């Protein structure tokens, strides 16, 4: 049975700029054939077991010739596979989609062309440059600029193009910027015409260089400005001073790894993305229900006598969520806790309880276990019974301290923390290229598992690769674990919360920009 090929535009680089249909194609594809301009984050959207084939081109070499790519799509489809050919930008804008689709049609293979957001309009927009403006330009031309001068002259009618529209957008033309500028001046554009080059637009690496037709080549040379970049010619470039927005966001320019469990990562990921950074999800932990009959029996025994507890201390959101899951499975009525005082470590834990109708005691000043003792030390009396619903890797400090005070402590391991099974070659590549700026750790287990997974992926010693990466920790306990593992934490949240961690990241980025 013949498969089907989807020729999909990935957008300009920011993974969230792909279309809904484009993302759906990736999610259902058996094979993803992608190039250099596709965001690595999009690769994570594939279904488990999906095959990824890189066919991108670099300035110094071609990984695979276009004819070979065309044939590859045919061969994969003839194997009955659903194939997604992921192209940067829009596949119909200098994407050679016509050649690929033509060969598919000749071989009787069904296909769809899924448009994407072209870099010709989106990249300038992220630099604060609208390609049209009522006062400056009512029309725009999109022109290829990567060919050699002879081919450029053959494919571009300079006498017609130069003044045909108010704005000219050249794609892939950095290496020929001098020739392009000279031709435009020769055919009537004033030398003082504004020009902007936007490199890696919509990504953390985005850079913008402005000038005029007369001086832009010298500026490109002086700055060693490298491709890929979009070139914008016209008075709309002047709008950048008023409309620049992406580069003003608090986390612009930073690609930040989020190591939290995927089920809990959304808050941190959304915050980073919303503040202009790029959150790279690399979950290194996963929480699961405890296994083993003995553990289940111990947990059932602990939860069957809720009426006997004087205190219940919740030290994490996970502890709350799994506690209620166990109550549901065991058929235990939460009203049996009527006798107990309930306390939570941190506002997120308190909120998780409040969402279930339980208001916790006044929060401790410190968002860690030590804060509970600070807050309630004089009220913790010998002989009182305490229930600690928590994970199997939780620290021993709190139960040990409570026992020292003479309390009877029941530790209920309501969940277990395990290492995820995911390897990520793209992350290794980004680390090797220095394109990861920070790694966030929200627990000691994320620190240990992160390093363990890097070693599993072939890094005998991951520490040198992380030497220039900022290590951001949510609290002092996590920071201490990082130090013991050989890392050099540089950022510590003032409050051990996600908001505190994000605030610290923003402060760091502001300092970095000012240097």
Q: Catalytic amino acids? A: 35, 57, 172
Closest CA to 281 of 48, 42, 466: 42
Residue with tokens 């489809």: 77
For residue 85, give the 3-state DSSP assignment.
Answer: strand
**CA atoms in the 13 A half-sphere facing the CB of 453:** 21
Cα gap 217→225, rounded to integer Å: 10
Tokens of residue 23, six digits: 């993302």
For residues 214 and 192, is the Cβ–Cβ distance under 8 A?
yes
The CA-based angle 66-86-11, given to 5 degrees, is 120
For residues 285 and 261, is the Cβ–Cβ distance under 8 A?
yes
Q: Where are the alpha helices (DSSP H) in 166-247?
A: 177-186, 216-223, 240-243
Residue with tokens 């596979």: 81
Which residue(s) pair with 416 in the sheet?
288
Closest CA to 180 of 235, 284, 46, 171: 171
Q: Where are the alpha helices (DSSP H) in 266-316?
A: 266-274, 293-303
Tokens of residue 356, six digits: 């279930």
Closest CA to 412 of 399, 426, 401: 399
Tokens of residue 495, six digits: 């409050």
Which residue(s) pair with 440 in the sheet?
258, 472
Cα gap 375→455, rounded to integer Å: 41
Instruction: Return the CA Rg of the chain.
Output: 28
For residues 426 and 455, is the Cβ–Cβ distance under 8 A?
no
């Amino acid at each position: 049975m013949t498969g089907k090929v989807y020729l999909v535009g990935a957008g300009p680089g920011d993974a969230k700029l792909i279309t809904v249909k484009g993302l759906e194609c990736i999610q259902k594809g058996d094979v993803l054939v992608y190039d250099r301009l596709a965001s690595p984050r999009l690769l994570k959207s594939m279904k488990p077991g999906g095959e990824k084939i890189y066919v991108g081109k670099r300035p110094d070499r071609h990984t695979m010739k276009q004819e070979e790519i065309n044939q590859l799509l045919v061969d994969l489809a003839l194997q009955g596979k659903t194939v997604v050919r992921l192209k940067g930008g829009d596949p119909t804008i200098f994407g050679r989609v016509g050649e690929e689709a033509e060969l598919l049609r000749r071989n009787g293979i069904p296909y769809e062309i899924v448009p994407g957001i072209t870099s010709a309009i989106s990249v300038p927009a992220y630099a604060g440059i609208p390609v049209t403006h009522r006062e400056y330009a009512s029309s725009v031309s999109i022109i290829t600029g990567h060919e050699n001068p002879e081919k450029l002259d053959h494919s571009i009618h300079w006498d017609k193009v130069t003044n045909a529209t108010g704005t000219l957008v050249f794609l892939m033309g950095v290496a020929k910027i001098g020739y392009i500028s000279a031709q435009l001046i020769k055919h009537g554009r004033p030398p003082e015409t504004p020009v902007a080059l936007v490199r890696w637009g919509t990504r953390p690496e985005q850079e913008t260089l402005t000038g005029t037709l007369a001086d832009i080549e010298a500026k490109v040379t002086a700055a060693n400005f490298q491709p890929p970049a979009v070139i914008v010619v016209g008075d709309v470039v002047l709008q950048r001073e008023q409309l620049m927005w992406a580069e003003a966001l608090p986390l612009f320019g930073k690609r930040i790894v989020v190591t939290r469990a995927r089920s809990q990562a959304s808050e941190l990921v959304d915050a980073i993305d919303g503040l202009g950074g790029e959150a790279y999800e690399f979950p290194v932990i996963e929480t699961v229900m405890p296994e083993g009959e003995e553990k289940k029996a111990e947990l059932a025994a602990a939860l069957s006598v809720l009426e006997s507890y004087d205190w219940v201390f919740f030290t994490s959101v996970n502890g709350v969520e799994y506690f209620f899951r166990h109550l549901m499975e065991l058929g235990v009525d939460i009203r049996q806790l009527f006798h107990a005082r309930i306390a939570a470590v941190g506002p997120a834990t308190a909120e998780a309880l409040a969402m279930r109708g339980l208001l916790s005691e006044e929060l401790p000043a410190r968002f860690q276990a030590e804060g509970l003792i600070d807050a309630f030390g004089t009220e913790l009396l010998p002989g009182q019974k305490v229930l600690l619903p928590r994970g199997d890797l939780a620290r021993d400090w709190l139960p040990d301290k409570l026992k020292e005070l003479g309390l009877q402590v029941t530790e209920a391991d309501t969940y277990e923390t395990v290492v995820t099974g995911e390897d990520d070659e793209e992350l290794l590549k980004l680390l090797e290229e220095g394109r990861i700026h920070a790694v966030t750790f929200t627990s000691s287990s994320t620190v240990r598992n992160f390093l363990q997974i890097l070693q599993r992926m072939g890094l005998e010693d991951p520490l040198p690769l992380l030497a220039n990466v900022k290590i951001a920790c949510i609290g002092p306990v996590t920071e201490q674990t990082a130090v013991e593992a050989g890392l050099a934490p540089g950022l510590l949240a003032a409050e051990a919360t996600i908001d505190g961690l994000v605030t610290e990241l923003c402060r760091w980025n502001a300092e970095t920009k000012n240097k």
